[in-house]
Amino acid sequence: MFVLFLTILAFSIVLIIAYQKKSLRLLNEDSAVKYPNLLLLLNFSGVLFLGILPAFFLPFPNFNFADFSTTQWLVLLGLVLLTSFVAFTVANKDLQKTTFKVDSRILSAKFLAQYFIVRILFIIGYEIWFRGYFLDFCILEYGEIIAVVINVILYVVLHFVNGKREALSCIPFGLILCAMSIWFQSPFPAIMIHLALTVPYDIMFVKKKSLG
């Protein structure tokens, strides 16, 4: 438990700093990321504190794909496709409301390559922590129902820095990720669904602003 507490605390400190500097993500409500390097640091800290460090102290979650049934793969594929569609739709709607200009440095090939690499690794590490280490620990200690409630509450709290809408959307989304992870006995489906939400949204942002 101490390792889990320490790693989420370390990440939260960086998260708060990034929030204060308007550097949580590429697109904020009224502007693009203010400090691009801080955005990269935030994502890298997630890789380090949530994905890498716990692996030295805790049993690594299950990623044995042979354990997954055909039905599980088909359901996961459907959810990934549905999530991607929703992400593109929401991104397109959000970007229609934005009129601000974006610094050309953010749209440079070098920065975008760095961002997408570390962003994907961040989502992997983030879900390994949330729907792997943390969910497994809570299930062992409190049972599945209470474990899911705790998991989703923490998930929502961390997303309040991104606004009320995103925080509230974490309730159904978090429940789905937890349910899939419990069904698969692995954080792998949570990783894939989360990537299907995040990556298309960022791609749409880059596409729209590059053309604009």
Secondary structure (DSSP) of 26-95:
SB-SSSB-S-HHHHHHHHHHHIIIIIIGGGGTSPPPP--GGGS-HHHHHHHHHHHHHHHHHHHHHHHHHH
Q: Looking at the 3D structure of the chain, how many domains does it have?
A: 1
pLDDT tens profile 25-46: 877 655 677 788 899 999 999 9
pLDDT tens profile 131-181: 999 999 999 999 999 999 999 999 998 887 777 777 888 899 999 999 999
For residue 38, the one-letter residue type is L
d(CA 47, CA 112): 18
pLDDT tens profile 183-199: 999 999 999 999 999 98
- Phi and psi dihedrals of 138, rounded to 5? -65, -35
d(CA 75, CA 105): 39
d(CA 16, CA 68): 38
Residue 95 tokens, joined: 């970007």
How many of the other CB atoms lie within 10 Å of CB of 150? 18
DSSP 3-state of 3: helix
pLDDT tens profile 44-84: 999 999 999 999 999 999 999 999 999 999 999 999 999 99
Write out the residue range of the structural domain in which residue 161 sits.
2-211
Q: Which helix (H) or strand (E) holds 188?
A: helix 188-211
Per-residue pLDDT band for 208 (boundaries 50, 70, 90) equals low
